[in-house]
Chain A
Amino acid sequence: MLKNNRRFKVQKLLKQNELYLFLVIIAYSIFITSINSSFLSLENLFDLGKSSAGMGIMAIGVFIVLLSGGIDISFTAIAISGQYIAANVLIASGVDNIFFAFFISCLVGVALGAINGLLISQFKIPTLITTLGTASVFHGALLTIVGTKAINSAQLPDCFKVFGAKNLLILTKPNGVNYGLSIFIIIFIVLALLTWLILKYTMLGRGIYAIGGDINSAVRSGFNVAKIQLFIYCYVGFLAGIAGVLHISLIRYSNPTYIVGTELSVIAAVVLGGTRITGGSGTIIGTIMGVAMVTILNNSLILVGLSSYWHNFFVGLIIIMSVSITSYQSKRSIGNIVFRR
Chain B
Amino acid sequence: MIYNGGGYYLLGKYSKHSKTLTLFIIMISVFVVISIFLPGKFLTIRNFQSMFSQIPEFGLLAIAVMLAMLTGGIDLSIVATANLAGIGAALILTKFTFPQIGGYEELLTIILAITSALTVSLICGFLNGILVAYVGVPAILATLGTMGLFSGIAIIITKGYGIIGFPEKFLLIGSGTIFLIPVPMIIFILCALVAVIILNKTTFGFSVYMLGSNPIAARFSGINNENILIKTYMMSGLFSGLASIIMISRVNSIRPGYGSVYLLQAILVSVLGGLDPSGGSGSISGLIMAIITLQVLQSGFNILSFSPFFKKIIWGLILILVMVLNFYSAKLSQKSIKRLKTN
Contacts and interface: CB of A to CB of B under 8 A. Distances in A.
B267 A132 contact: yes
B131 A320 contact: yes
A134 B152 contact: no
B312 interface: yes
A331 B152 contact: no
B219 A137 contact: no
Contact of A339 (B74, B159, B215, B264): B215
A144 B307 contact: yes
Interface stretch (A25-33, A94-102, A175-183, A311-319): A311-319
Contacts of B278: 126
A133 B317 contact: yes
Interface in B291-325: 307, 309-317, 319-320, 323-324
Interface residues of B, number: 55
B215 A129 contact: no
Q: Most chain-B Cβ atoms within 10 A of its Cβ — which of A141, A324, A328, A331?
A: A324
B312 A328 contact: no
B131 A324 contact: yes
A142 B138 CA distance: 33
Interface string A278-310: 100000000000000000000000000000011
B271 interface: yes
Interface stretch (B5-13, B88-96, B142-150, B186-194): B142-150
A327 B138 contact: yes
A143 B277 contact: no
B268 interface: yes
A341 B73 contact: yes
A136 interface: yes
Given A310-B156, A315-B148, A323-B145, A133 B136 contact: no
A133 B71 contact: no
Interface in A240-260: none
Contacts of B74: 128
Contacts, number: 164
Given A339-B219, A341-B71, A341-B132, A129 B142 contact: no
B324 A341 contact: no
A137 B145 contact: no
A277 B216 contact: no
Interface in A145-202: 148
Contacts of B271: 129
A309 B138 contact: no
Contact of B316 (A135, A271, A340): A135
Interface residues of A, number: 50
B153 A134 contact: no
B324 A323 contact: no
B277 A316 contact: no
B222 to A, nearest CB: 14
B323 A129 contact: yes
A144 B301 CA distance: 15
A81 interface: no
A271 B141 contact: yes
B160 interface: yes
Contacts of A319: 141, 144-145, 148
A141 B313 contact: yes
B156 A313 contact: yes
Interface stretch (A13-21, A57-65, A117-125): A117-125
Nearest to A316: B148
Contacts of B313: 136-137, 140-141, 144
Closest 7 CB pairs of A and B: A316-B148, A313-B152, A140-B312, A136-B316, A312-B152, A316-B149, A137-B316
24 contacts: A119-B320, A119-B324, A123-B323, A126-B278, A126-B323, A132-B316, A134-B320, A136-B312, A136-B313, A137-B312, A139-B312, A140-B314, A140-B316, A141-B313, A144-B309, A271-B144, A277-B140, A313-B149, A316-B147, A316-B149, A337-B216, A338-B216, A340-B136, A340-B138
